Copies of this chain bind each other. A is one copy, B any other.
Amino acid sequence: MFDEKLKRLFSPNSIAVIGASDSFDKLGYHVMKSLVKGNYKFPIYPVNHSAQNIWGIKAYPSILNIPQPVDLAVIVVPAKSVPDVLYECGKKGVSGVVLITAGYKEIEAEEGKILEDEIKRIASEFEIPIIGPNTFGFVNLTDSVNASFTYEFSLIKKGGVTLISQSGGFCHICGFLAMEERMGMAKLMSLGNRVNIDFPEAVRYFMEKDEATKVIALYIEGIDEPKRLFKTIDSIKNKKPVVAYKAGKGEKGDEASRFHTGSLAGNYRIWKGAIRQANILEVNSIEELIDTAKVIDLCPFLKGNRVAVLSSQAGPGIIAADTLLLSGMVLSKFSSQTQENINKLLPPFAIRTNPVDMGPAWYSPETILNILKVVADDENTDGIIFIAIFASANLNLTKDMEKIIEGMEAFKKPIIACLNAPQGIWDEEIKILDGKKGIAIIHTPERAARAMASLWEISRLKD
């Protein structure tokens, strides 16, 4: 019902910050910083009782005093002032609200619940979609809209992963790890107390209306109407892959998450079954969430589960092969033609069957590229794990790594690459490779193998 309004909420042509401040210890300062330093391209209207200017921008005593239309209002005033401010937003005709302020149904006092009901009523009267309350906000990396109190989110690489989270803290740690792992993101948001924007509304919007989103990642503590989420997904025609991390698996976790955002985490077993039925891929750690989402965003789907492991050293290749087998994947058996070709490219003392130890070819980027090509062309191989671990004595390769990388883009099968070197040595190469079509860089051989297995799971769910 909010579709058009949500478009304006997430990609607004103007933003009012109600409670904007020049004082460093106020959230209103940090929201202004996020918008300004995050390069928001359209007008920002600070709203503040007393100040003339905030962050050097003309301020207004109320949103009603702003002469231009306002698409999005970000509210950071104290909980008790919110109903009045929200009413004014309704009068102004905003398309949406981000309500950062906390102190509602998540607190022990009855007062919080009463205030939240009041907010719900006003939102319904004016038909305003609200993200929050009790949220850090959202970040739209695609269009450079950082409507949150943490500017640093703007440093995340742009890409196709959208995170819908029930916890702002989770968004922070996941965002920082995304930076480390160079995962490209489209949007990230914390739902908070979910006055009228809950998982189903958010998922539907990003699946149906947001082109930049290629894969949706969910962090779920507990939702009131799980069936509604699954029904929503079921009703969407062109589904995008969904990856979910469920917290509150134990009883104690349940209890804690009830306090956190005011709803029970529910029985995990029931959840697990339901998630699977809805074709949602479950992950079990932040890193797995990132690896899986990244690989789905960057790689084509797998047509089968036969994987070739090509490694610069035997050990890391063995570990990757091991992890693949433990994850239900198969090591591809090369055709006799492929094996013959590899045997021509590698000396007899290297492991030339799968996993291939490319060590002896490590001084010749042409040979490495040729091995890659031969394996990528083999119809018995569905995907490739390429491992390169730096060694000082192989420093020559550093110069040539770019050549290998350029060559890899031509392959049409998914390639998960694990490039590992001390900080600073391959940073540039990793950056180049991470932008290539069909290739995802994952931090360790085991994680690369598990990400390949996840890609296979999601490829099968897709059918």
Contact = CB atoms under 8 A, between A and B. Distances in A.
Interface of A: 24-25, 27, 30, 33-34, 102-103, 106-109, 112, 136, 149-152, 155, 165-170, 172-173, 176-177, 179-180, 219, 221, 247-250, 252-253, 255-257, 259-261, 284-287, 311-319, 321-322, 325-326, 331, 348-349, 351, 353-355, 357, 363, 389-393, 395-396, 420-423, 425, 444-447
A179 B260 contact: no
A150 B392 CA distance: 4
A313 to B, nearest CB: 3
A249 B322 contact: yes
A391 B170 contact: no
Contacts of A166: 315
Point out which of A103, A177, A316 has the most chain B C-beta atoms below 10 A from its C-beta: A316
Contact of A168 (B170, B219, B315, B348): B315
B33 A392 contact: yes
A395 B436 CA distance: 36
A109 B348 contact: yes
B176 A321 contact: no
Copies in the complex: 2
Contact of A172 (B247, B389, B423): B389
A26 to B, nearest CB: 9
A179 B423 CA distance: 9
A114 to B, nearest CB: 14
A393 B27 CA distance: 6
A284 B323 CA distance: 9
A422 B179 contact: yes
Given A173-B420, A393-B27, A393-B149, A286 B444 contact: yes
Q: Which 3 A-B pairs have the closest CB atoms?
A: A169-B313, A167-B315, A107-B349
Nearest to A450: B285
B169 A348 contact: no
Contacts of A357: 259-260
A68 to B, nearest CB: 28
A348 B425 CA distance: 50
A150 B313 CA distance: 14
A177 B444 contact: yes
A250 B155 contact: no
Nearest to A249: B322
A327 to B, nearest CB: 11
Contact of A252 (B325, B349, B390): B325
A310 to B, nearest CB: 13
B286 A392 contact: no
Given A313-B167, A446-B286, A321 B392 contact: no
A259 B103 CA distance: 63
A363 B26 CA distance: 11
